[in-house]
Amino acid sequence: EKPEKVLDELTLEGVSRFMQSEKCKNVVCMVGAGISTSAGIPDFRSPGTGLYANLQSYKLPYPEAIFEINFFKQHPEPFFALAKELYPGQFKPTVCHYFMRLLKEKGLLLRCYTQNIDTLERVAGLEPDELVEAHGTFFTSHCLRSSCRQQYSLDWMKERIFSSLIPKCEKCQSVVKPDIVFFGESLPSRFFTLLQSDFQKVDLLLVMGTSLQVQPFASLVGRSGPRWPRVPLS
């Protein structure tokens, strides 16, 4: 049986008409570092300009070590030095961030799944329940000691990072880490819980600013089913 035609033509104009039709009620956005580069935040993998290409001053065994949990537990200093450069509050959302807010205001945004840790989706006006911050966020922090896990705020962490201090828990003096997902840590349970329901409802999947090289985030593109459009936007 020939499948139903969803778009009247395979162009951005066709996608736009579909978004304005009765058939499109739930839009899911998948976004990565590319939507924040015009805000002044470097992506990770671009040759020469990406974050991993410019970490020589931190004397790492290899660039990715700065985001590895075992390395961080032994040597937290490089990460917190880098965090001062990337910390939320120094950058403003881009047109892409405000486009997602517009989708929200039009009643179309089901969820934004983001790989970014810069919190610019929140700054642009998306609420926490409209977000799945798949790789975590700077917005909250926790003590690393499993028997403590005291939570700390964005402002608490900012005060210590910009004072060039290693943040220590006020209860047990263990290192406090922002709730971003390091290599060697599991993604938030919210990611796995919501994708089960969201991708049964999605009518249109917009992929923006990500090369889809990191799993399991990249696997989301295969969950929307064969009938609904998946649109990569650069």
Catalytic residues: 135
Interatomic CA distance for residues 40 and 11, integer angstroms: 30
**For helices 77-86 and 154-161, angle between their N-to-C axes, nearest 10 degrees:** 110
What is the Cα Rg of the chain in Å?
A: 19
> CB count, 10 Å around CB of 207?
21
Q: Which residues 6+ apart lie within 8 Å of 202 measured at CB?
A: 26, 27, 28, 110, 224, 225, 228
148 assigned ligand-binding residue? yes
Are the CB atoms for 140 and 133 separated by under 8 Å? Answer: no
Interatomic CA distance for residues 109 and 100, integer angstroms: 7
112 assigned ligand-binding residue? no
143 assigned ligand-binding residue? yes
42: preceding bond cis by omega (within 30 degrees):
no
> CB count, 10 Å around CB of 151?
11
- Sequence ranges of the binding site: 143, 148, 169, 172
- Sequence ranges of the binding site for Zn(2+): 143, 148, 169, 172
